[in-house]
Amino acid sequence: MNYRLRPHPRMPAIYLYREPVDFRKSFRGLAAIVEQALGHNPFDGALFAFTNRRRNKIKLLYWEDNGFVLYYKSLAEEKFHWPKGDEEVLPLTGQQINWLLDGYDLGAMKGHKKLHYEASF
């Protein structure tokens, strides 16, 4: 059996920090970025995603009741497809963070275009 330690798909608040961070930072350093750079409360139960400059590692920071949980994944050969954009932080869904962990490019994943029709009587 293949068990995975992953964020729940219905996790309500997930934020991806776009800028690379120094991965020598522990949970304290990442919590400081959440508070000072993003203006979020690191203790409110949201999940925060960070990557390194080479984009081959990811850290997820989460406050769970009485302490921080730090998820760390280091890819052996590939890179994470870190979403580009102008905003410093990008809100994600639980499904999107799991797609990112699986190696999908979130920027390339687009659903069908929405159509809006009106009757012309």
Domain-wise residue ranges, the chain:
14-102
- Average pLDDT score over residue span 47-53: 96
Q: pLDDT band at 12, cuts 50/70/90?
A: confident
Q: How many CA atoms lie within 13 A of 77 on its CB side?
A: 0
**Checking DSSP bridges between strand 67-74 and strand 57-64, what pairing results, if any?**
antiparallel
Q: Is the pLDDT of residue 63 over 70?
A: yes
